């Protein structure tokens, strides 16, 4: 298990989770962060690490 340090949603303060799925936009699995409360989504990234990094940056 990798530790995911996700910050809370910048809009509602809700819990954010990593979601992954296959998308035609990226050739393979893509990851994004989604708020479980207001369903705000980040962009799609090729790695979990990138998705988390960008989400955290957005919050700060």
The distance of closest approach from Cβ of residue 42 to Zn ion in the complex, given in angstroms and rounded to an integer, is 11
Q: Which residues of 30-52 are buried (b: 16+ CB within 10 A; e: fewer)?
A: bbbbbbeeeebebebbeebeebb
State the Cα–Cα distance between residues 8 and 31, nearest whole angstrom.
17
Q: Which is nearer to Zn ion, 9 or 33 (CB)?
A: 9
* 37 contacts Zn ion (rule: CB under 5 A): yes
Q: Which is nearer to Zn ion, 40 or 48 (CB)?
A: 40
Binds Zn ion by CB under 5 A, chosen from 12, 17, 26, 41:
12
Q: Which is nearer to Zn ion, 29 or 35 (CB)?
A: 35
State the Cα–Cα distance between residues 30 and 52, nearest whole angstrom.
12
């Amino acid at each position: 298990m990798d530790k995911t340090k996700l910050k809370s949603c910048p809009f509602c303060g809700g819990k954010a989770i990593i979601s992954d799925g296959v998308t035609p936009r990226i050739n393979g699995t893509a990851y994004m962060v989604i708020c479980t409360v207001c369903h705000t989504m980040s962009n799609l990234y090729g790695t979990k690490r990138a998705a988390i990094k960008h989400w955290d940056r957005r919050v700060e």
